Chains A and B, each alone.
Chain A
Amino acid sequence: MRLSSRLADLVLSDDRGEDVRLGDLWRERAAVLVFVRHFG
Chain B
Amino acid sequence: MGDAQDEIEAAGGDLVVIGNGAAHFAKAFREDLDFRGTLLVDPELRAYRVAGLRRGRVEVLSPRLGWNALRALGKGHRQGAIEGDPWQLGGALVIRPGGDLAFRHVSTVAGDHADPEELIAALEPGLVPLPEGEGGSALASVARPLGRLVDPLVPLSFSRPGYAIRAAGFDPDDLVVDLGEQRWLVTGANSGIGFETALALADLGAEVELLCRNPERGAEAAERIADSTGNRRVRAHVLDVSSLADVAQVAEQLIDRPVDGIVHNAGVLPDDLIESADGLELTWATHVAGPHLLTRLLRPALEAAPAARVIFVSSGGMYTRGLETRDPDWQRRRYDGVLAYAETKRAQVVLAELWAEAFAETGVTCNSMHPGWAETPSVESSLPRFHRVTKPFLRTPAEGADTVVWLAASPAAAGETGRFFFDRRAVGTHWLLGTRESASERAWLWERCEKLAAPFVVVPSD
Contact = CB atoms under 8 A, between A and B. Distances in A.
A28 B247 CA distance: 54
B379 interface: no
Nearest to A20: B40
Q: How large is the interface on B (under 10, 10 to 19, 20 to 34, 35 or more residues)?
A: 35 or more
Contacts of B89: 37
Interface string B81-112: 11111101111111111011110100100100
A28 B13 CA distance: 10
A32 B51 contact: no
Interface stretch (B22-30, B302-310, B430-438): B22-30
B291 interface: no
A26 to B, nearest CB: 4
A39 to B, nearest CB: 4
Q: How large is the interface on A (under 10, 10 to 19, 20 to 34, 35 or more residues)?
A: 20 to 34
B357 interface: no
B445 interface: no
Interface string A1-40: 1111111101011110100101001111111111111111
A37 to B, nearest CB: 5
B133 to A, nearest CB: 7
B100 A37 contact: no
Contacts of B30: 15
Given A15-B26, A40-B82, A3 B51 contact: yes
B41 interface: yes
A37 B15 CA distance: 16
Given A14-B39, A32-B119, A38 B18 contact: no
B83 A27 contact: no
Interface stretch (B42-50, B274-282, B450-458): B42-50
Contact of A32 (B15, B132, B173): B15
Contact of A12 (B41, B81, B177): B41
A22 B42 CA distance: 12
A31 to B, nearest CB: 5
Given A15-B39, A20-B40, A38 B86 contact: yes
A39 B40 contact: no
Given A27-B97, A38-B19, A38-B21, A3 B132 contact: yes
Contact of A30 (B13, B80, B88, B91): B13
B95 A4 contact: yes
Contacts of B440: none
A39 B84 CA distance: 7
B130 to A, nearest CB: 9
A25 B16 contact: yes
A2 B178 CA distance: 14
Contact of B41 (A1, A8, A13, A27): A13
A6 B119 CA distance: 21
A8 B20 CA distance: 18
A1 to B, nearest CB: 6
A12 B40 contact: yes
Contact of A3 (B17, B50, B83): B50
B12 A30 contact: yes
A17 B39 CA distance: 10
A32 B358 CA distance: 47
A12 B18 contact: yes
Contacts of A31: 13-14, 16, 93-95
Given A1-B133, A12-B18, A33 B88 contact: no
Contacts of A40: 21, 25, 28-29, 79-84
Contacts of A25: 14, 16, 38, 95
A6 B177 CA distance: 9
B180 to A, nearest CB: 10
A12 B46 CA distance: 9
B114 interface: yes
A4 to B, nearest CB: 4
18 contacts: A1-B411, A2-B101, A6-B176, A12-B18, A12-B41, A14-B38, A15-B30, A26-B97, A29-B97, A30-B95, A30-B102, A30-B123, A32-B94, A34-B15, A34-B114, A35-B91, A38-B82, A40-B81
Given A25-B38, A36-B19, A37-B84, 4 more contacts: A7-B50, A15-B41, A30-B14, A33-B95
Interface of A: 1-8, 10, 12-15, 17, 20, 22, 25-40
The 10 closest A-B pairs by CB, nearest first: A4-B99, A15-B26, A38-B84, A39-B25, A30-B13, A39-B21, A12-B40, A39-B29, A26-B95, A39-B19
